[in-house]
Amino acid sequence: MLKEFKEFALRGNVMDMAVGIIIGAAFGKIVSSLVGDILMPPIGLLLGKMDFSNLFIHLSGASYASLAEAEAAGAAVIRYGAFLNTVIDFLIVAFVIFLLIRQVNRAKRRPEKAAPAAPTTRECPYCLSVVPLKAVRCAHCTSELKAV
Protein backbone atom coordinates (compact mmCIF):
# COMPACT_ATOMS: atom_id res chain seq x y z
CA MET A 1 0.00 0.00 0.00
CA LEU A 2 2.86 2.38 0.79
CA LYS A 3 4.41 1.61 -2.58
CA GLU A 4 1.13 2.45 -4.36
CA PHE A 5 0.86 5.72 -2.47
CA LYS A 6 4.44 6.61 -3.40
CA GLU A 7 3.69 5.91 -7.09
CA PHE A 8 0.55 8.04 -6.89
CA ALA A 9 2.23 10.94 -5.09
CA LEU A 10 5.23 11.03 -7.40
CA ARG A 11 3.27 10.89 -10.65
CA GLY A 12 3.81 13.88 -12.89
CA ASN A 13 0.19 15.02 -12.78
CA VAL A 14 0.06 15.08 -8.98
CA MET A 15 3.32 17.02 -8.75
CA ASP A 16 2.11 19.48 -11.39
CA MET A 17 -1.12 19.96 -9.48
CA ALA A 18 0.77 20.57 -6.22
CA VAL A 19 2.98 23.18 -7.87
CA GLY A 20 -0.11 24.80 -9.40
CA ILE A 21 -1.85 25.00 -6.02
CA ILE A 22 1.19 26.54 -4.34
CA ILE A 23 1.68 29.09 -7.11
CA GLY A 24 -2.07 29.78 -7.13
CA ALA A 25 -2.05 30.51 -3.39
CA ALA A 26 0.88 32.90 -3.79
CA PHE A 27 -0.82 34.51 -6.79
CA GLY A 28 -3.98 34.92 -4.69
CA LYS A 29 -2.01 36.86 -2.08
CA ILE A 30 -0.59 39.11 -4.77
CA VAL A 31 -4.05 39.82 -6.18
CA SER A 32 -5.46 40.45 -2.69
CA SER A 33 -2.73 42.99 -2.13
CA LEU A 34 -3.38 44.54 -5.54
CA VAL A 35 -7.07 44.93 -4.76
CA GLY A 36 -6.75 46.00 -1.11
CA ASP A 37 -3.69 48.22 -1.39
CA ILE A 38 -3.80 49.61 -4.92
CA LEU A 39 -7.27 49.40 -6.49
CA MET A 40 -9.65 49.95 -3.58
CA PRO A 41 -8.12 53.20 -2.19
CA PRO A 42 -8.67 55.15 -5.46
CA ILE A 43 -12.15 53.66 -5.86
CA GLY A 44 -12.95 54.64 -2.27
CA LEU A 45 -11.61 58.12 -2.95
CA LEU A 46 -13.81 58.46 -6.03
CA LEU A 47 -16.79 57.40 -3.94
CA GLY A 48 -16.21 60.06 -1.27
CA LYS A 49 -13.16 58.80 0.67
CA MET A 50 -14.90 55.54 1.54
CA ASP A 51 -12.92 52.55 2.84
CA PHE A 52 -14.76 49.40 1.81
CA SER A 53 -13.06 47.21 4.40
CA ASN A 54 -14.74 49.24 7.19
CA LEU A 55 -18.28 48.95 5.82
CA PHE A 56 -20.54 46.98 8.12
CA ILE A 57 -24.09 46.54 9.35
CA HIS A 58 -24.51 46.04 13.08
CA LEU A 59 -27.20 43.60 14.10
CA SER A 60 -27.69 44.89 17.63
CA GLY A 61 -29.73 47.97 18.47
CA ALA A 62 -26.67 50.03 19.48
CA SER A 63 -24.88 52.45 17.18
CA TYR A 64 -21.14 52.21 16.53
CA ALA A 65 -18.93 54.72 14.76
CA SER A 66 -16.52 52.17 13.30
CA LEU A 67 -16.11 48.47 12.70
CA ALA A 68 -13.29 48.31 15.25
CA GLU A 69 -15.52 49.87 17.90
CA ALA A 70 -18.35 47.42 17.15
CA GLU A 71 -15.98 44.43 17.28
CA ALA A 72 -14.41 45.69 20.53
CA ALA A 73 -17.88 45.86 22.05
CA GLY A 74 -18.56 42.30 20.89
CA ALA A 75 -21.50 43.32 18.70
CA ALA A 76 -22.66 41.02 15.93
CA VAL A 77 -21.86 42.67 12.58
CA ILE A 78 -22.14 41.86 8.91
CA ARG A 79 -18.87 42.96 7.27
CA TYR A 80 -20.14 43.53 3.73
CA GLY A 81 -17.17 45.75 2.87
CA ALA A 82 -14.78 42.85 3.39
CA PHE A 83 -17.11 40.73 1.27
CA LEU A 84 -16.97 43.32 -1.55
CA ASN A 85 -13.16 43.24 -1.42
CA THR A 86 -13.22 39.43 -1.64
CA VAL A 87 -15.62 39.49 -4.60
CA ILE A 88 -13.38 41.96 -6.42
CA ASP A 89 -10.36 39.75 -5.62
CA PHE A 90 -12.15 36.76 -7.11
CA LEU A 91 -13.21 38.60 -10.26
CA ILE A 92 -9.67 39.82 -10.91
CA VAL A 93 -8.16 36.37 -10.30
CA ALA A 94 -10.76 34.72 -12.54
CA PHE A 95 -10.15 37.26 -15.32
CA VAL A 96 -6.35 36.88 -15.14
CA ILE A 97 -6.63 33.07 -15.16
CA PHE A 98 -8.96 33.33 -18.16
CA LEU A 99 -6.38 35.44 -20.00
CA LEU A 100 -3.55 33.02 -19.12
CA ILE A 101 -5.49 29.94 -20.22
CA ARG A 102 -6.52 31.71 -23.42
CA GLN A 103 -2.87 32.45 -24.24
CA VAL A 104 -1.78 28.90 -23.39
CA ASN A 105 -4.50 27.49 -25.65
CA ARG A 106 -3.40 29.81 -28.47
CA ALA A 107 0.19 28.67 -28.05
CA LYS A 108 -0.83 25.00 -28.10
CA ARG A 109 -2.80 25.29 -31.31
CA ARG A 110 -0.71 24.22 -34.20
CA PRO A 111 -1.39 25.80 -37.52
CA GLU A 112 -3.02 23.26 -39.74
CA LYS A 113 -0.94 22.32 -42.72
CA ALA A 114 -2.85 23.25 -45.81
CA ALA A 115 -3.21 20.56 -48.41
CA PRO A 116 -0.86 21.18 -51.28
CA ALA A 117 -2.57 23.15 -54.00
CA ALA A 118 -3.49 21.23 -57.08
CA PRO A 119 -1.03 21.94 -59.88
CA THR A 120 -2.21 24.31 -62.59
CA THR A 121 0.67 23.68 -65.00
CA ARG A 122 2.66 20.77 -66.38
CA GLU A 123 5.73 20.20 -68.51
CA CYS A 124 5.60 19.46 -72.20
CA PRO A 125 7.16 15.98 -72.62
CA TYR A 126 8.87 17.08 -75.87
CA CYS A 127 10.41 20.47 -75.14
CA LEU A 128 10.06 20.53 -71.33
CA SER A 129 8.35 23.94 -71.40
CA VAL A 130 5.76 24.79 -68.77
CA VAL A 131 2.24 24.73 -70.23
CA PRO A 132 -1.21 25.10 -68.66
CA LEU A 133 -2.63 21.87 -67.29
CA LYS A 134 -5.63 21.88 -69.66
CA ALA A 135 -3.58 22.64 -72.78
CA VAL A 136 -3.87 20.11 -75.65
CA ARG A 137 -1.03 21.66 -77.69
CA CYS A 138 2.30 23.08 -76.50
CA ALA A 139 2.63 26.81 -77.18
CA HIS A 140 6.39 26.49 -77.65
CA CYS A 141 6.90 23.45 -79.84
CA THR A 142 3.28 22.99 -81.03
CA SER A 143 3.31 19.30 -80.10
CA GLU A 144 0.00 17.68 -79.36
CA LEU A 145 -0.42 16.87 -75.67
CA LYS A 146 -2.63 14.31 -74.00
CA ALA A 147 -5.62 15.85 -72.22
CA VAL A 148 -5.50 15.59 -68.43
Instruction: Count the helix, strand and coil residues of the chain and give each as a percent rounded to the nearest 5.
Output: 55, 10, 35
3-state secondary structure of 48: coil
The 10s digit of each residue's pLDDT in 106-148 is 888 776 677 788 888 999 998 999 999 888 999 889 988 887 7
Indicate the pTM of the whole model: 0.51
Cα separation, 26 vs 2, in Å, equals 31
Region 2-108: CATH code: 1.10.1200.120
Nearest alpha carbon to residue 39 among 79, 80, 103, 87: 87
Domains of the chain by residue range: 2-108, 117-148
pLDDT in tens, 127-136: 999 999 888 9
